[in-house]
Structure 1
Amino acid sequence: MEPPQQSIAQEKMRLQEHLLLQQQQESQQSAQSRSPASGSNTVPMTEEDLESSPVHSQLSPAEDQQSPAYSPAAPSQQFPAYSIPRVPVPAPVYNTPRSPTPPPYSGPSTPAQEPAPPEESQAGGPKPPPRYPGLPALDYRLYNPPLFDLSPDKTAIKSTAAHLSTSADALVAIIRQQATVPPKPQIHIVGRRGASPTSGRVDFSIKLNLLPLLVPDDPRHRIDYLRCVGPGEVAFRGGSKPSTQPEVEGDGSLDAWAAKFVADTASVKAFALERVVVNLDVDWLEGQIRKLVVGMRYPGTVAVSFPVTHSRVVVQNPDRVNKFITSVTGFFAGKRKYEVVKAVWPFATMPKGSEGDGRRCAVQSEEVWWREWRGPIRYAIATKRNGWVTVEDKLEALMEGTPSTTPADVDWGPDY
């Protein structure tokens, strides 16, 4: 009977050979099914390696039953375990995610995010009005809409579209739409020298736009409104002359006046919307301007005016033949005028001098505006400008300082 240690060693050797042959068979099958370029983690043994192995047969069932259980805790000192060399396989290279932060001084990685247009514009409806940074939030398309013509002096737009004279609903809709934009109030300052205030050499002629003073940045703070003529108020009520008659049935609303205009059978008739500015103290502003010019020792005559453009919207019935025939017919037979509605754009809630009663300005008061524009106006007059004084002049005065314009600095030249 063999010693126990020798029997255990033979048992372990046979098990190692059994495992080795099994790995060899699996490796050969894998090598046959793969291409040479696919790679493998094990190296199959050659026939010479197999012949040089200590054992070539598997355990018989009888020997397997007589052999004691294999214990890995008792390694053999005589037969070291056979290890199969492995070929190192490089780790797979994955695409690392790109950092969402762009490198310094690079352009944007995605287009600028624009606000999504309303659903009605996506469905083919009217597009929303464009917005222009630095300008009041208004729909500027309404100042020169389709089917309307702008007058040469830029004071009125006029349409002879037939549907506006035959449909009260269409007329009311266009009037309410046009009332949402204000007129354009301005200041004109002209200095001239000559035989009369309207002739001679013009030394300076400057203009300023006051429209931004009517539209606050927050639409919720707007104080404009639509107003119809009241009882006993003199206006063009469907005749050729102003009168207090006739009245319309009902509450005298815009709808009632539009219905009366559409029902009028006159050969020439016109319905007008007037945009007006109220509660702006033009007398105080004119006094400040004249005081400024006198302080500059200007030797000529100064004219200060406050014209208003884009102030009227006129709807007239279509021409029967042409414009000439219509004008002749209107001249002899008279034109039926309906000037009964106004779009009121207050500079302030009350006239100047009513601060104690809670006067509130739409944007800023006359005093604040004058403090901001006094320097640019003085500099424009001193440089004898012919054109607009804009926000760029105000920006230069704030960023660079307005140049000195003392009376001694201005050379007005010889009189003639």
Structure 2
Amino acid sequence: MEASSQSAAEEKMRLQERLQLQEGHESSMSSQSRGPASGRNTVPMTEEELESSPVYDQQSPLYSLVPDQQSPPPSQSAIPRRPVPGSVPGPVPRPVPESGLEPVPRSPTPPPYSGPSTPAQEPIQPHESQTGGPRPPPRYPGLPALDYRLYKPPLFELSSDKTTIKTTAAHLSTSAEALVALIRQQATVPPKPQVHIVGRRGSSPNSGRVDFDIKLNLLPLLVPEDPRQRMDYLRCVGPGEVAFRGGSKPSTQPEVDGDGSLDAWAARFVADTASVKAFALERVVVNLDMDWLEGQIRKLVVGMRYPGTVAVSFPVTHNRVVVQNPDRVNKFITSVTGLFVGKRKYEVVKAVWPFATMPKGSEGEGRRCAVQSEEVWWREWKDPIRYAIATKRHGWVTNEDKLEALMEGTPSTTPADVDWGPEY
């Protein structure tokens, strides 16, 4: 019994020593294969661990296994894993493939119905987003480069005949600086000169049936495409020139101190204590030979054997800017006061828009037109005008008519082709 007990104790001691040696060997192997900076785990995984592992995926589209020529091929039980990087502040770096892995190339073609790379909106201009200044005037292809917002600015009203814009804003009647700034700004846009041709048959020139009534716009003839070629300027009345100088009637008096500039007249207007007073800017067109154009138009109509009376005129719209002091009570009271007491008018400044540097007939002295001469304009427009009259149009003759004449040719408008009908 004693021998049996002794052998059992010795066998137990040998087993404990063997277990201790095995545990030490496994601990050594673990410390060598699970280093903190190794980035790999070479401990064999069970099939359940392999299937449930979120790190390694044989179907991953980003990386694929390739043999590493610099390192020995891993054993079948060694399963490479991608390290999970920690959260580092700053821009996210692009993933770098590990040794034994390479990125799978991606197609440069975007998926269908992908959104735009930039927002679909107009870019914000620097002056709008940073300085908050006024927007630049919009540009309209085919029209002169002008700030068309000035034809009807805020606090102004346009008259029914489209000739005058008027305001009773208080600051323009009490501040000479504000008034001068307004006048200079309004002088940068021209008036709208037109050609108006009316053919009428009846007992008198102003009654009866109107066969045709057409208009043409001459404003583009005042504004060259190159801003450096513009001829417009601002002028005030000179000594001895008859004008409304702060009274109810035109006169050559009074004169203002200094050089008679716009600033001096604006200061005089602001200092005026009249109950009703008004300061006006007039836009005028000069050096356009209207008589020559009227003669060409009448010759054209006569050649078409028109049996009625033709009226040719050159109206001008958008040609006045009026600043009046605020109404004391309402517009009616102001009108009655101005009627009985009289309105003090200041019409001492004009915005001059020359059609040419000199009147027609001065070509020998170097006459230069802002855009084109009267002869060139007539050659371009006579066929559209003839066709509009022959078709008895009531309305505008525009660039579309000229374009049709150039591209398609104007239909025949000989006298025999026009049926003017009965007289009444």
Q: Sort the TM-score into its range (normalised by shorter chain).
A: 0.7 to 0.9
Q: Which residue of 2 aligns with 1:405?
A: 413
Q: Which residue of 2 aligns with 1:164?
A: 172
Q: Which residue of 1 aligns with 2:261?
A: 253
- The answer (yes or no) to whether the contact 2:156–2:167 under 8 Å persists in 1 is yes
SS of 1:276's equivalent?
A: strand
Q: Which residue of 2 aligns with 1:93?
A: 104
Q: Tell me by how many angstroms 1:122 deviates.
A: 4.3
Structure with bigger gyration radius: 1
2:319 corresponds to 1:311: yes
Work out the CA distance in 1 between the residues paired with 2:380 and 2:345: 43
Q: Tell me by how many angstroms 1:221 deviates.
A: 0.9
Work out the CA distance in 1 between the residues paired with 2:229 and 2:323: 30
Q: Which residue of 1 aligns with 2:370?
A: 362
Which stretch of structure 1 is more off in the superposition, 114-123 or 173-182?
Answer: 114-123
Work out the CA distance in 2 between the residues paired with 1:360 and 1:112: 47
Q: Which residue of 1 aligns with 2:91?
A: none
Q: Tell me by how many angstroms 1:90 deviates.
A: 9.0
For 1:205, give the aligned amino acid.
D
Q: Tell me by how many angstroms 1:128 deviates.
A: 1.2
Q: Deviations over 1:240-267 (max 9, x none)?
A: 1111110000010000000000000111
Q: Which residue of 2 aligns with 1:200?
A: 208
Of the three residues 64, 71, 75, the one matched with 1:44 is 75
SS of 2:332's equivalent?
A: helix
Residues 147, 43 of structure 1: alpha-carbon distance in 2 compared, 3 angstrom cutoff = closer
Stretches of structure 2 lacking an aligned partner (at least 5 in a row): 1-31, 34-39, 51-55, 59-64, 68-72, 78-99, 111-115
Q: Which residue of 1 aligns with 2:44?
A: 32
- The answer (yes or no) to whether the contact 2:127–2:135 under 8 Å persists in 1 is no
- The answer (yes or no) to whether the contact 2:196–2:314 under 8 Å persists in 1 is yes
Work out the CA distance in 2 between the residues paired with 1:121 and 1:137: 25
Q: Tell me by how many angstroms 1:328 deviates.
A: 1.3
1:5-404 aligned within 5 A: 30=42, 32=44, 36=50, 37=56, 41=67, 42=73, 44=75, 92-97=103-108, 117-119=125-127, 122-404=130-412
Work out the CA distance in 2 between the residues paired with 1:133 and 1:197: 40
- The answer (yes or no) to whether the contact 1:268–1:316 under 8 Å persists in 2 is yes
Stretches of structure 1 lacking an aligned partner (at least 5 in a row): 1-24, 47-88, 100-107
Which stretch of structure 1 is more off in the superposition, 119-128 or 178-187?
Answer: 119-128
Q: Tell me by how many angstroms 1:332 deviates.
A: 1.3
- The answer (yes or no) to whether the contact 1:156–1:313 under 8 Å persists in 2 is yes
For 1:365, give the aligned amino acid.
S
Q: Tell me by how many angstroms 1:92 deviates.
A: 3.5
Q: Tell me by how many angstroms 1:44 deviates.
A: 3.2
> TM-score, normalising length from structure 1?
0.77
SS of 2:328's equivalent?
A: coil
Work out the CA distance in 2 between the residues paired with 1:231 and 1:174: 24
Work out the CA distance in 1 between the residues paired with 2:76 and 2:166: 102
- The answer (yes or no) to whether the contact 2:230–2:370 under 8 Å persists in 1 is yes
Residues 137, 114 of structure 1: alpha-carbon distance in 2 compared, 3 angstrom cutoff = farther
Residues 281, 169 of structure 1: alpha-carbon distance in 2 compared, 3 angstrom cutoff = same
Q: Deviations over 1:344-388 (max 9, x none)?
A: 000011111111111111111111110001110000000000000
Residues 119, 32 of structure 1: alpha-carbon distance in 2 compared, 3 angstrom cutoff = same
> TM-score, normalising length from structure 2?
0.76
Q: Tell me by how many angstroms 1:38 deviates.
A: 6.0
SS of 1:134's equivalent?
A: coil
Residues 315, 29 of structure 1: alpha-carbon distance in 2 compared, 3 angstrom cutoff = closer
SS of 2:278's equivalent?
A: strand
- The answer (yes or no) to whether the contact 1:117–1:128 under 8 Å persists in 2 is no
Count residues with an aligned counterpart: 344
Q: Tell me by how many angstroms 1:123 deviates.
A: 2.7
- Identity within the alignment, %: 83
Q: Tell me by how many angstroms 1:119 deviates.
A: 1.9
